[in-house]
Chain A
Amino acid sequence: MRLSQSFFVTQRNYSDELTTVSHRLMVQAGMLFQVTGGIYIIGHFLTKVIQKITDLVRTEMNTIDAQEISMPILQPKSLWVESRRWDQYKNQGLMFTLRDRKEAEYCLSPTNEELAVDFIRNRIISYRQLPCAIYQFGEKFRDEIRPRFGLMRGREFTMKDAYSFHESPKDLEEWYAKFRNAYANVLNRLNLRFGIVEADNGEMGGTKSEEFMAIADAGEDELVFCSSCGSAVNVEKAGKKDQCTKCGSMEIRISRGIEIGHIFQLGGYYSKNMGLTFTSKDGTEEPIIMGCYGMGISRLAAAVVEQSHDENGIIWPSVIAPFDAIVIPARPSEIAVNAAIRLYEDLKDQGIDCILDDRDASAAVKFKDADLTGIPWKIIVGKTFESNGEVELKDRRSKNSTQMKPDNVARFLLENQGD
C-alpha cells in the first residue's frame, strides 16, 4: 500500500475530551473516526489490527473444538419473551429496539444466548451429540447513557461470543476450564498484563462467572492484582489491601482494570425456559446445561494501546501490528525515492506486509506519523543510502537502529518478527 494513494489522516492536536490514552492515540493516528456519540468508523490500520486479533482468538477457539458460526444482529422479541429477558432488558434501557414495517419488534444484539439456544435446539437431540460449543465474531450494541473512551465504552462494538452445551454440570466445569485457559492464551499472546476476577452473574443468570481484567489507568474498576497467582479482586471486596485474598502472597499491586472478557457457567436457565433438551443415555429428556463466554475484540485493541505506547504514539506487538514495516524515502533525491520503491516492492514479494510512505511530505512528518501509528519497523532510505548504499532499520519499541544493504532487509525482518 502506498500512502499517497490512501486515505491516511493523522492529527497532531487533539481535543481535551480525549482523556484516555488509547482513545486519544487512535484518533490522532487516524484509526478511529466518530460518526456520533459512541459510534465510530474504524480506519484501515485499526481494521487490520482487529482482524489479526480476531484470527488469534479464532485459533484458540478452534483449538478447543468450538465451532464458528454467524448469528444475525436483528433478534426477534419472541425469542427474548421465551427466555423471559425481554422486559428486564427493555426496562433497563440499554438495549436498542426497533419495529419493522409490519410492527414486529426486534432488538439489536446485546448478547446472543437466545439465538444460540435457538440454533442448537434444532440440531441436538441426543447425548451422543454433546458436548458441543459454538462461537461467533459479531457486532454488539448497547445504548450507553454516557458513551466514552473510544472503543472502551462505545455503543456499537465487536465481540466474540461463545456458548457451550453439556449433559451435566461436571462436563460444563471441564469446558469452562478449557475456555478459561484459551482466554489466558489469547491475552498472553497479546502481551497483556491481566488478572481474573470472580464476578456476579447478574442478569445473565447461572452459578459462577469470572471476568478477565486488563491493567489500565483508564479502567473503570479498581482492583488488587496478585503477581503470584494471577488473580485479582475488586478493591471493595479485598478487605486488607496488603496481601492476596486467594494465595496470601504479598506481591500485590493496586491498579485500575478494564474488563476484556467474561465467562459464565449458566446452568439450565435458558434450556428450561426455551425447551432445549436432549435424550439421555437412559432415554429421559433432560435440559441441556450451558456455559457462555464473551470477549471484547475491539476493546482488546484499546487495552493493548493502554499498555503499550510511549510519548510518540502506539507500539503494537508485532503479532497484531497493522503492518510489519514502513518504507520511508527520507530524501527527495531520485536515487533515494527509486530505491525506496524498489525495496517496498521487493519486500512485498517476499511476504512482508509493508507500506510505502511516498507522500509529498518532509522526513520529519513521515517519522512522526510512523511512530504514531505504531508500526514495528521503520526502514529509512536517506543520507546513508546516498553515501554508502545502506538503509536504516529502526525498531519502534527499543528505538535501536541498525544499517544494512537493501538486499538483507527481508531476511532480517523475517528473523526479527516475534515479540
Chain B
Amino acid sequence: MEFSMYLTSLPLRVEREIPHDTKARSHRLMVQAGFIQQTSAGIFSFSTLLWSVIRRIEKIIREELNAIGFQELMMPALQPTNLWRESGRLEHFQREHTMLSLRDRKDQEFCMGSTYEEVLIDLCRHFVSSYRQLPFRLYQISEKFRDDLRPRFGLVRARQFRMKDGYSFDLNEGGMHVAYQETREAYNKIFERCGISFVVFSDLRGSIGSTFAEKYMARTTEGEESFIHCTHCNFTANYEGSPYCPQCHAATEPLTALELGHIFELGPHYPEKMGALVADNNGRLSPIWMGDFGIGVSRIPVAIIEQYMDDCGMNWPFHLAPIQIAVVPVMPTNENQVSAASAIARTIKTTFGFETYVDNRAQSFGSRLKDLDFVGSQLQIVVGDRLDNGEVDVQQRNGLNKTTVPIANIVTTIENLTKGVHQ
C-alpha cells in the first residue's frame, strides 16, 4: 500500500453534539468534525483532513506566485527584537501587546514572527548593494503569531496561524507598481481557484509608511468581522461606530466579511530607516522600494466553509474537498465488500490522485453517510448487495444523483463526474 485510505486510520470521528463555546457556524462545524483541536485559547492542532485541504490551497498559492517570479524561502519564527527597534515599529507593536516575546539564555530578546519586513531588509542591507541585483520577489508560507486580546471564531482570530507573506524589492517606484499589479493579478487567480467569492477594497489608510493598499475580502453570512463599506468611494474599514465614510462623508453600508489578503505598496520608508540602500547606474545611493503581500492561509478553509455550507454540514469545491471520494462498504464486517471497496479506492487514487478513502468505521451505514456528508465528501461509492452482480452505487453528497454502475466502468464514471478537475 502506497497511501493510507482507511478512515479508521485517521481516525475520523464526527461529534453530533454542538460544542458550547463556538459562536460562528464555520467554527462549530470544524470542531465537530475534529478538523481543529484547541490546545489553548486561539492555538490549534489541525487534523489530517483539514491539513490536506490547506496543503492543496498552498499548492495553488505557490503555483501562482512562482509563475510571476516569486522565490520561496524559509524564515525563522524567532526574530531578534533589535531589528524592530531599528525600523521604529517596536513601540507600536508593544503598545498593542500583540507581540509575543521572550529572552534566550544569554538574555537576548526575541519576538515571535508576525511579519518579516525587518528580517528581509536586514538581509538586503548585507547582500544587496547594486541596482543590478534588483528586482526580486520573495515569499514564505509559515506560522505567524499574534497575541490577540480575545482570540475567537476558531481559525479567524487565532494566536498562531498560517500565513503567506511576500515582499517585492525594486529600484524605484515604477518597479514597485509593476510588482504590485502583477501580484494583484496573481491574487485574483488564487482566490478564484480556491472557489471563493470575494471583493477587493482599497484601503487608503494602509499601515505606516505605505502609499496604497487593497484588501481581499470574502463575503460571509455570519459576523466574524464587521466593516463599513462606502459604495461611493469604495472605502472600507473595521466598524468604528460612525455610519459615515471618513473619506467622502457619504453614508456607508455595513458589511460582514472575512479578510483573506492584504497587499500594499510599502515604498522606501523602512529600507531607508534601516539603511538598505542600493547604487543606481550612476552610483547614486537610494533606498529599495518594497511591496508587501499577505494571505491568511488558514482563513481560506473558513471562508470556503462559510460560503459553501448547508444544513447537512460542510461543502467544498471538488478540488479542495477533504474527502473527494468515499468508498463505503454497507457492512464493514463483510470482507468481500471491504476488499472490493479497497480495490476501487486504490484504482481511483492511482488513476486520478483524488483524496479517496474507504469508510470502514464500525458505525451504522446511515451514520457513516451522515458523517461523510457532514465533512463534505463530494462523491460516494456504495458497495452493498449489488456487489454480487459486480455493481456499485455512485452518488453525490446528500444522496444526490444516485446511479448504479458496473465496477468495470468505475474509472469512466468518475472521469465523467469530475471532468475538468485538476488535482
CB within 8 Å of B: which of A230-284? none
Q: Are A156 and B1 in touch, CB under 8 angstroms?
A: no
Does A79 sit at the interface, judged by CB under 8 A? yes
Q: Are B8 and A156 in touch, CB under 8 angstroms?
A: no
A345 to chain B, nearest CB (A): 13
- Complex interface: chain A residues within 8 A of B108 (CB): 36
In the bound assembly, the distance between CA atoms of A59 and B135 in angstroms comes to: 37
In the bound assembly, the distance between CA atoms of A102 and B412 in angstroms comes to: 58
CB within 8 Å of B: which of A1-60? 1-2, 5-7, 9, 33, 35-36, 39-44, 46-48, 50, 59
Q: Which of A141, A143, A145 has the most CB of B within 10 A?
A: A143
- Complex interface: chain A residues within 8 A of B101 (CB): 98
B103 to chain A, nearest CB (A): 9
Mark the stretch among B22-30, B45-53, B316-324 that contacts chain A: B45-53
Q: Which of B2, B77, B145, B169 contacts A156 (CB 8 A)?
A: B77
- Complex interface: chain A residues within 8 A of B72 (CB): 44, 47-48
- Complex interface: chain B residues within 8 A of A62 (CB): 2-4
Q: Are B77 and A73 in touch, CB under 8 angstroms?
A: yes
Does A69 sit at the interface, judged by CB under 8 A? yes
Chain B residue nearest in CB terms to A75:
B39
In the bound assembly, the distance between CA atoms of A128 and B7 in angstroms comes to: 12
Q: Are A74 and B9 in touch, CB under 8 angstroms?
A: no
- Complex interface: chain A residues within 8 A of B138 (CB): 7, 44
Q: Are B79 and A35 in touch, CB under 8 angstroms?
A: yes
Q: Are A118 and B77 in touch, CB under 8 angstroms?
A: no
Q: Which of B34, B132, B143 contacts A139 (CB 8 A)?
A: B143
Given the contacts A63-B1, A145-B105, A155-B78, A2 and B69 also touching, CB distance less than 8 Å? yes
Does B362 sit at the interface, judged by CB under 8 A? yes
Mark the stretch among A119-127, A217-225, A400-408 that contacts chain B: A119-127
- Complex interface: chain A residues within 8 A of B122 (CB): 35
Q: Which of A41, A106, A124 contacts B123 (CB 8 A)?
A: A41
In the bound assembly, the distance between CA atoms of A123 and B51 in angstroms comes to: 17
B422 to chain A, nearest CB (A): 15
In the bound assembly, the distance between CA atoms of A115 and B100 in angstroms comes to: 20
Does B97 sit at the interface, judged by CB under 8 A? yes
Q: Are B105 and A5 in touch, CB under 8 angstroms?
A: no
What is the 8 Å Cβ interface bit string for chain B, positions 3-46, against chain A (1 contact, 0 not)? 11010111101000000000000000000001001011001111
CB within 8 Å of A: which of B403-421? none
Given the contacts A41-B123, A62-B3, A7 and B71 also touching, CB distance less than 8 Å? yes
Chain A residue nearest in CB terms to B119:
A35
Chain A residue nearest in CB terms to B74:
A42
Q: Are B119 and A41 in touch, CB under 8 angstroms?
A: yes
Q: Are B43 and A72 in touch, CB under 8 angstroms?
A: yes
Given the contacts A65-B4, A72-B160, A100-B100, A39 and B48 also touching, CB distance less than 8 Å? no
- Complex interface: chain B residues within 8 A of A139 (CB): 77, 143
Q: Are B132 and A141 in touch, CB under 8 angstroms?
A: no
- Complex interface: chain A residues within 8 A of B9 (CB): 65, 67, 132-133
B66 to chain A, nearest CB (A): 8
Q: Which of A46, A48, A68 contacts B48 (CB 8 A)?
A: A68
What is the 8 Å Cβ interface bit string for chain B, positions 220-254, against chain A (1 contact, 0 not)? 00000000000000000000000000000000000
- Complex interface: chain A residues within 8 A of B46 (CB): 69-71
- Complex interface: chain A residues within 8 A of B52 (CB): 68
Q: Which of A40, A93, A98, A158 has the most CB of B within 10 A?
A: A98
A-B contact count (CB 8 A): 164
The contact size tier of chain B is: 35 or more
Chain B residue nearest in CB terms to A131:
B9
Does B76 sit at the interface, judged by CB under 8 A? yes
Does A228 sit at the interface, judged by CB under 8 A? no
- Main SS at interface, chain B: mixed
B19 to chain A, nearest CB (A): 12
Does B80 sit at the interface, judged by CB under 8 A? yes
CB within 8 Å of B: which of A139-185? 139, 141, 143, 145, 155-156, 158
Q: Are A39 and B76 in touch, CB under 8 angstroms?
A: yes
Q: Are B105 and A69 in touch, CB under 8 angstroms?
A: no
- Complex interface: chain A residues within 8 A of B132 (CB): 359-360
Q: Are B51 and A1 in touch, CB under 8 angstroms?
A: no
B161 to chain A, nearest CB (A): 10
- Complex interface: chain A residues within 8 A of B3 (CB): 62-63
Given the contacts A36-B108, A47-B73, A129 and B11 also touching, CB distance less than 8 Å? yes
- Complex interface: chain A residues within 8 A of B388 (CB): none
- Complex interface: chain A residues within 8 A of B135 (CB): 5
What is the 8 Å Cβ interface bit string for chain B, positions 52-93, against chain A (1 contact, 0 not)? 101000000000000001011111111110000000000000
What is the 8 Å Cβ interface bit string for chain A, positions 343-357, against chain B (1 contact, 0 not)? 000000000000000
- Complex interface: chain A residues within 8 A of B77 (CB): 73, 108, 139, 141, 156
Q: Are A106 and B40 in touch, CB under 8 angstroms?
A: yes
- Complex interface: chain A residues within 8 A of B45 (CB): 69-72, 115, 118-119
B262 to chain A, nearest CB (A): 23
Q: Are A123 and B76 in touch, CB under 8 angstroms?
A: no
In the bound assembly, the distance between CA atoms of A132 and B10 in angstroms comes to: 8
Does B311 sit at the interface, judged by CB under 8 A? no
On A, residues with C-beta under 8 Å from B are 1-2, 5-7, 9, 33, 35-36, 39-44, 46-48, 50, 59, 62-63, 65-76, 78-79, 93, 96-98, 100-101, 104, 106, 108, 115, 118-119, 122-124, 128-129, 132-134, 139, 141, 143, 145, 155-156, 158, 359-360
* 5 pairs, CB–CB < 8 Å, chain A vs chain B: A41-B123, A72-B43, A98-B101, A106-B40, A115-B45
For the complex with contacts A62-B3, A106-B40, A128-B362, 20 further pairs of A-B residues with Cβ separation under 8 Å are A7-B136, A33-B126, A41-B74, A41-B76, A46-B74, A47-B74, A62-B4, A63-B3, A65-B6, A67-B10, A67-B48, A72-B39, A78-B40, A98-B112, A101-B147, A108-B102, A115-B39, A119-B37, A141-B77, A158-B74
Task: Identify the 3 closest CB pairs spanning chains A and B, nearest first.
Answer: A98-B102, A42-B74, A44-B71
On B, residues with C-beta under 8 Å from A are 1-4, 6, 8-11, 13, 34, 37, 39-40, 43-48, 51-52, 54, 69, 71-80, 97, 100-102, 104-105, 108, 112, 119, 122-123, 126-128, 132-133, 135-136, 138, 143, 145, 147, 149, 159-160, 169, 362
